[in-house]
Amino acid sequence: MRYGGNTTCIEIRTDNNELIIIDAGTGIFPLSQSLLKELPITANVLISHSHWDHIQGLPFFQPNFIPGNILRLHGAFDPVSGKGIEQVMAVQLQYSYFPVREAEMKAQIEYVTLVPGKTVLVGSAKVTPTMMNHPVINFGYRIEADGKSVFVTGDHEPPANIYSQGDPDYDEYQSFVDEKTDSILQAMKGVGVLIADCSYTSAEYVTKKGWGHGTFHSSITYAKQAGAKVLYCTHHEPTRSDDALESAFADVLDDHPRREVDPHYRLAREGESFEF
């Protein structure tokens, strides 16, 4: 009840009050209620990936049902299905699963399929998607506007070598891992705020390898190496209570005592606003 139980949805505003939304988990429903006083709106929604917890709120985004609004959905091409981000809505709004079809929605709905590393303009903001590491195509997003920057990882597990040292394929695969890590750090470099997947403690991660999620330790390492000013730890392990989350975070801070040059570390809390 303190940190929140909705699935991922992050609202970002530029200095011009342009609306960018990262992911459309269940948190997009309470967000949509707050937006009703601003109608008509243009909502640019950036989908990190198509797993249910990051898209399941889309059909309940209330401005979709009101004329004059625009929902512009951005995301990746899916090489498995051979379709762009439009499939996220198409799958959810099948007649058997949802009573309203897209054609019946009153808002204007647009789709933008993004290319990794290619920057696009969203209003006055520059948005650059970066391929991350998760068991589906997953974009991290760097958003820059008005001299400020944010990077959101989506769901991300730091890439690691799948071979053991001494294996003939180890060195070649390690080159791939190093290149991938460097590209991610470049995308994060110097951001004002890094919002990162910190699902597990280091001890828990031993049994979670390959699940596609990071740890407090891995995200703190990213933040330090990238020179981020603030790290928000998010995607909290859903079975962890608020008290347990605070206890785990306190242990992490003990293991990573903050120096003056280090980022500020925070636990993401539902409804919290951060202005910079």
What are 2-36's pLDDT values in tens digits?
999 899 999 999 999 999 999 999 999 999 999 99
Q: What is the helix, strand, coil percentage profile of the chain, to 5?
A: 30, 25, 45
What are the residue ranges spanned by the domains of the chain?
10-267
Cβ-based burial of 194 (10 A; exposed 0-12, middle 13-18, buried ≥19): buried
Burial class (CB in 10 A: 0-12, 13-18, 19+), 147: exposed
What integer pLDDT is reported at residue 1 of this predicted model? 84
| pLDDT of res. 255 | 95
Q: Identify the CATH homologous superfamily for domain 10-267.
A: Ribonuclease Z/Hydroxyacylglutathione hydrolase-like (3.60.15.10)
Q: Predicted confidence band at 81 (pLDDT cuts at 50, 70, 90)? A: confident
| pTM of the entire predicted model | 0.95
In this prediction, residue 80 has a pLDDT band, given cuts at 50, 70 and 90, of: confident
Question: Could you tell me which of 161, 160, 140 has the C-alpha nearest to residue 228?
Answer: 140
- In tens, the pLDDT along 174-185 reads 999 999 999 999
CA separation for the pair 149, 188 (Å, rounded): 9
Residue-wise pLDDT for 131-145, tens only, equals 999 999 999 999 999
Q: What is the mean pLDDT of the chain?
A: 96
Lowest mean pLDDT among 40-44, 72-76, 101-105, 251-255: 101-105
